[in-house]
């Protein structure tokens, strides 16, 4: 692949290969010396048009651990604020010869559009409700390490599916790897068209969590509910927030996941989130750095191969 724009175009073998590389970067990241030269001499620019804690910091750390020159664009202070278009900003940065461009944007499809205009590798760090591929890959690595496999698992994705790029990317990835995925949440937040991904839909947590291996909770994404129905947080927690009673319906060794940022007492009880016997939320953060190292390493290898093949060719 030239870019990482989504899970949709990836073959299961490519997913497995990326996770294998990421496993090695988990080991490296646990060493006193965490550095490699995989991206030495390359320039990585991070452009985040939406807020981020985990994704932006882990992409920055990943690039630095691999020896890249990393620049974080301060989008609030950029010329976008003066009316410059996304494409003009991208072309301006492209003229500075970056090798890797990491982009988060509030509009679905914006990152794909940008990738068509630049001649470097583009990584989607989340675009609107569309995709968040590195989140799904880090979730996959977390599951594979916790469960010892990434196939034939029963996985429940719970909460605000309608507004979630995390849910879409996970649905595609987990489906490609032959898992059974259930969506659980209020009908207003779990559109029936998601059945096209081959999943079952439940509006009752007890039924939806019955005997699952993995419980993946999602945040209510109020910032995307423009004018639509917003449930009361108290009622939402009562019916759909993960607490010990609801989790008791899952398998006794089921793991609990959350991509963050997490709203304690809304979609998840704080004691469940902090229960080190069930929750793998901190492991997800650790896997995030390793998966982003792997994704950039593999894209950089392809970039170097392409450039070598095109040496001396006028384009
Ligand atoms: N999971 C995730 O994308 O978190 P951030 O918004 O903090 O990057």
Residue 230, pLDDT > 80, answer no
Greater model confidence, 229 or 16: 16
Of the pLDDT bands very low, low, confident and very high (cuts 50, 70, 90), residue 228 is low
d(CA 262, ligand 1 centre) in Å: 10
CA angle 148, 178, 169 (to 5 degrees): 95
Radius of gyration of the chain (CA): 20
Query: Residue 312: its pLDDT value, please?
Result: 58
Greater model confidence, 93 or 299: 299
Does 134 count as an annotated binding residue?
no
Pocket probe for ligand 1: among 51, 54, 166, 222, the residue whose CB has the most ligand atoms within 8 Å is 54
Pocket probe for ligand 1: among 261, 267, 282, 287, the residue whose CB has the most ligand atoms within 8 Å is 261
Query: Residue 313: its pLDDT value, please?
Result: 60
Given a contact cutoff of 8 angstroms between Cβ atoms, the answer to whether 75 and 48 are in contact is: yes
The binding-site residues of ligand 1, defined as CB within 6 angstroms of any ligand atom, are 52-55, 126, 135, 259-261
* 51 Cα nearest atom in ligand 1: 6
Residue 141, pLDDT > 90, answer yes
What is the pLDDT averaged over residues 217-242?
A: 85
Of the pLDDT bands very low, low, confident and very high (cuts 50, 70, 90), residue 251 is very high
Coil, strand or helix: which one is 155? strand
Given a contact cutoff of 8 angstroms between Cβ atoms, the answer to whether 216 and 258 are in contact is: yes
Encode pLDDT of 2-57 as tens digits. 999 999 999 999 999 999 999 999 999 999 999 999 999 999 999 999 999 999 99
Query: Residue 229: its pLDDT value, please?
Result: 65
Q: Is the peptide bond before 261 cis (omega within 30 degrees of 0)?
A: yes
Given a contact cutoff of 8 angstroms between Cβ atoms, the answer to whether 136 and 173 are in contact is: yes
Encode pLDDT of 198-226 as tens digits. 999 999 999 999 999 999 999 988 777 77
Encode pLDDT of 263-286 as tens digits. 999 999 999 999 999 999 999 999
| Phi-psi map region of 227: left, alpha, beta (phi>0 left; psi -120 to 50 alpha) | left
Residue 182, pLDDT > 60, answer yes
Encode pLDDT of 55-83 as tens digits. 999 999 999 999 999 999 877 777 777 77
Share of the chain above pLDDT 70, in %: 97
Residue 314, pLDDT > 60, answer no
What tokens appear for 119 in the block?
């001649």
Encode pLDDT of 80-130 as tens digits. 777 788 889 889 999 999 999 999 999 999 999 999 999 999 999 999 999
* 50 Cα nearest atom in ligand 1: 6
Residue 171, pLDDT > 90, answer yes
Residues near 127 by beta carbon (within 8 Å), at least 6 away in sequence = 103, 104, 105, 106, 107, 108, 109, 110, 111, 112, 165
Mean pLDDT of the chain, nearest integer: 94
Query: Residue 310: its pLDDT value, please?
Result: 87
DSSP assignment of 226-266 = TTS----HHHHHHHHSB-HHHHTTS-TT-EEE--S---BTT
d(CA 236, ligand 1 centre) in Å: 22
Query: Residue 74: its pLDDT value, please?
Result: 79
What is the pLDDT averaged over residues 299-308?
A: 94
ipTM: 0.97
Query: Residue 3: its pLDDT value, please?
Result: 98
Query: Residue 72: its pLDDT value, please?
Result: 95
What is the pLDDT averaged over residues 234-260?
A: 97
Query: Residue 315: its pLDDT value, please?
Result: 43
């Amino acid at each position: 692949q030239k870019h990482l724009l989504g899970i949709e175009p990836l073959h299961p073998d490519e997913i497995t290969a990326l996770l294998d590389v990421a496993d090695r970067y988990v080991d490296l990241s646990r060493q006193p010396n965490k550095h490699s030269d995989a991206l030495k001499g390359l320039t990585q620019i991070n452009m985040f048009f939406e807020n981020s804690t985990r994704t932006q910091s882990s992409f920055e750390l990943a690039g630095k651990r691999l020896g890249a020159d990393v620049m974080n664009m301060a989008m609030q202070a950029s010329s976008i604020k003066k009316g410059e278009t996304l494409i003009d900003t991208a072309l301006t940065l492209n003229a500075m010869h970056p090798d890797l461009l990491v982009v988060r944007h509030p509009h679905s499809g914006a990152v794909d559009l940008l990738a068509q205009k630049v001649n470097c590798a583009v990584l989607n760090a989340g675009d609107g409700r569309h995709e968040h591929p590195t989140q799904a890959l880090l979730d996959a690595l977390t599951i594979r390490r916790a469960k010892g496999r990434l196939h034939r698992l029963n996985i429940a994705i719970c909460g605000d599916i309608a507004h979630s790029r995390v849910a879409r990317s996970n649905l595609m990835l987990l489906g490609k790897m032959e898992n059974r995925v259930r969506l659980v949440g209020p009908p207003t937040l779990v559109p029936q068209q998601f059945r096209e991904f081959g999943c079952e839909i439940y509006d009752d947590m007890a039924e939806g969590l019955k005997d699952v291996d993995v419980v993946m909770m999602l945040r209510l994404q109020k910032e995307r509910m423009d004018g639509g129905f917003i449930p009361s947080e108290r009622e939402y927690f009562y019916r759909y927030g993960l607490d010990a009673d609801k989790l008791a319906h899952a398998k006794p060794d089921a793991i609990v996941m959350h991509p963050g940022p997490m709203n304690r007492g809304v979609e998840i009880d704080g004691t469940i989130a902090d229960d080190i016997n069930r929750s793998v939320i901190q492991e997800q953060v650790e896997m995030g750095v390793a998966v982003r190292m792997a994704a950039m390493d593999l894209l950089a290898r392809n970039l170097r191969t392409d450039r070598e093949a095109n040496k001396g060719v006028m384009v």
